[in-house]
């Protein structure tokens, strides 16, 4: 349903929301170690998040990645759309290209109800809220 890239992006943004600031920039290595994401893969995700204005970065000594209050107030749903695109909103859980009320898959009605509730929850959950639910780095085991 959701991509691994989305999961990794959400984990890294949650961690950055909890641990980073303009005066406390984090390296790719630090983030990767803390949230258990392959460093190379995370580097690509973070660069994409910088381009999409979810994260800020500075290169060189004293550089790294951080989020600000504006970024932390963005919602998990915004990350989903930025990473997986809006096709995820209408895709079939069974992967059928044509799944709708006229041509439903066997799980169409069940998934439609669950998907609506899930997306509604993601639209109401900010990165700051997710970060606030982390008691420690153990939230990423």
pLDDT of residue 135: 67
Give the chain's domains with CATH numbers. Answer: 4-134 (1.10.10.10)
pLDDT of residue 90: 81
* Global confidence as pTM: 0.87
- 2-29: average pLDDT: 95
Cβ atoms of residues 8 and 125 within 8 Å: no
pLDDT of residue 93: 85
Do β-strands 56-58 and 64-66 pair in parallel, antiparallel, or remain unpaired? antiparallel
Which residue, among 15, 50, 49, has the nearest Cα to 29 in the 3D structure? 15
**pLDDT reading at 138 higher than 60:** no
Cβ atoms of residues 93 and 107 within 8 Å: yes
Write the pLDDT tens digit of every residue in 65-74: 999 999 999 9
pLDDT of residue 139: 60
Write the pLDDT tens digit of every residue in 21-58: 999 999 999 999 999 999 999 999 999 999 999 999 99
DSSP state of 40: H
Percent above pLDDT 90 for the chain: 72
Give every CB contact of residue 15 below 8 A, 6+ residues apart in sequence: 31, 34, 35, 131, 134, 137, 140
């Amino acid at each position: 349903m959701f991509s691994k890239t989305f999961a990794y992006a959400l984990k890294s943004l949650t961690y950055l929301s909890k641990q980073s600031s303009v005066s406390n920039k984090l390296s790719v290595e630090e983030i990767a170690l803390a949230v258990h994401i392959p460093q190379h893969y995370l580097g690509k995700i973070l660069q994409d998040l910088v381009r999409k204005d979810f994260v800020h970065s500075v290169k060189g000594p004293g550089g790294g990645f951080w989020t600000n209050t504006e970024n932390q107030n963005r919602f998990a749903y915004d990350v989903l759309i930025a990473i997986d695109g809006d096709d995820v909103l209408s895709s079939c859980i069974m992967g059928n290209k044509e799944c709708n009320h006229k041509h439903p898959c066997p799980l169409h009605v069940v998934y439609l109800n669950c998907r609506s509730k899930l997306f509604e929850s993601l639209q109401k959950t900010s990165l700051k809220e997710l970060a606030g639910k982390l008691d420690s780095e153990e939230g990423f085991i």
